[in-house]
Amino acid sequence: MSRITVVGAGAWGTALALQAARAGHKVALVARDAASAAAINANRESHRLPGVRLPDLIELRHAIPDESDLLLWVVPTQHLRSSLVRLPATDTAIVVCAKGVEANTHLLPLEVVQTVVPNRSLAVLTGPNFAHEIAAGLPAAAVVASIDATLREQVRTLLGTNTFRLYGNDDPIGAQLGGAAKNVIAIAAGAVIGAGLGENARAALVTRGLSELCRLAAALGGRAETVMGLSGLGDLMLTCTGTSSRNFSLGHALGRGESLATILANRSAVTEGVLTAAALVARAGELELPICRAVADLVAGVKTLDQSIAQLLSRPQRDE
């Protein structure tokens, strides 16, 4: 029986802990502090995943164990850097399970880890996955992206089951960009529906968003074909249509006329696309990303929703 440590006891971290236990491993689920760990352990249930009982194979902790066979780092991208101070002095491989771009540095998640913990074997786990469905054991697939083929195989072996199919990929840049950009595009898709612009408009926007993502991946050292897989197209399909998507629902509320401050004030979970939009545009430099830029301007208050829509609709017509 292998020992897997999951750092981060939010909805996604808890779901991955459940998946690791389902695969037959002993799991340490590490909460942010002792009080949080005790609260979850008291009821063997996380308030982020109500109704889902944690099996005995999952041990709640507030300190990261010194020994484990694999570390799943399930912390939001904007808190990833600060959370790494908790990392014990071991050489255990780290699988980052976060999507986005660090706001101040414009670094992707694996790049953040590399700056803090150099010379560590790293992978990213990403794809079209809602936490509550993974927790329930519903069929799903995800991507394990790493330049380390041995680590890719280890993660597939340890976490994969018949209902959670893991596919390896040696393009972590493309996989991370897919996970970051889809949240931004989902905000735009939600705004389109919230504003009553219709399904035709959403389909067009998501398709053109995919085109942006392909250009972005190619420009930043990834591969366009990666974007056509689970970490790009698959994640876009889920996030731009699923009502459980935090980014889509935020965009939907913006489309109905709610203010960003009001929307965020009523949420406890992180909506990554809000901060990712500007960081992604900055990372892209001179590359043309009209949808991502429109979302960045919208959430920053630079443009209104009507202005953002008018700007996109007035772009010159050209061959696809």
Give backbone dihedrals phi and psi of 242, rounded to 5 degrees, phi first: -75, 130
Fold designation for 3-170:
Rossmann fold (3.40.50)
Do 26 and 19 contact (CB within 8 A), yes or no? no
Segments in the chain forming alpha helices (H): 11-22, 34-43, 77-83, 109-116, 131-135, 149-159, 172-194, 199-219, 224-227, 235-239, 246-255, 260-265, 273-284, 290-300, 305-313
- The DSSP secondary-structure symbol of 127 reads S
pTM across the whole model:
0.95
263-269: which pairs have CB atoms within 8 A and are 24 or more residues apart? 269/10, 269/11, 269/48
Alpha-carbon gap, residue 85 to 44, rounded angstroms: 27
Sheet arrangement for strand 26-30: 58-61, 26-30, 3-7, 70-73, 94-96, 122-126, 140-145, 164-169
Confidence (pLDDT) at 40: 95
Q: What is the pLDDT of residue 269?
A: 80
In this structure, are residues 101 and 180 in contact, taking their beta carbons and an 8 Å threshold?
yes
What is the pLDDT, as a whole number, of residue 228? 96
Length of the chain: 320
Residue among 137, 207, 147, 204 nearest 175 (CA): 147
pLDDT of amino acid 268: 81
User: Closest Cα to residue 290, out of 148, 177, 181, 168?
Assistant: 181
pLDDT tens, position by position, 92-132: 999 999 999 999 999 999 999 999 999 999 999 999 999 99
CA dist 242 and 233 (Å) reads 14
3-class DSSP assignment, residue 223:
coil
Q: Do domains 3-170 and 173-313 have the same CATH topology?
A: no
Q: Which residues of the chain have pLDDT under 70?
A: none
Domain 173-313 sits in CATH 1.10.1040.10: yes
pLDDT of residue 270: 81
Reply yes or no on whether 99 is catalytic.
Answer: no
Q: Cα(217)–Cα(283) distance, rounded to whole angstroms?
A: 11
The alpha carbon of residue 55 and the mean position of all alpha carbons in its chain are separated, in whole angstroms, by: 25
Q: For the chain, give every domain's residue range.
A: 3-170, 173-313
CA–CA gap between residue 148 and residue 290 (Å, rounded): 34
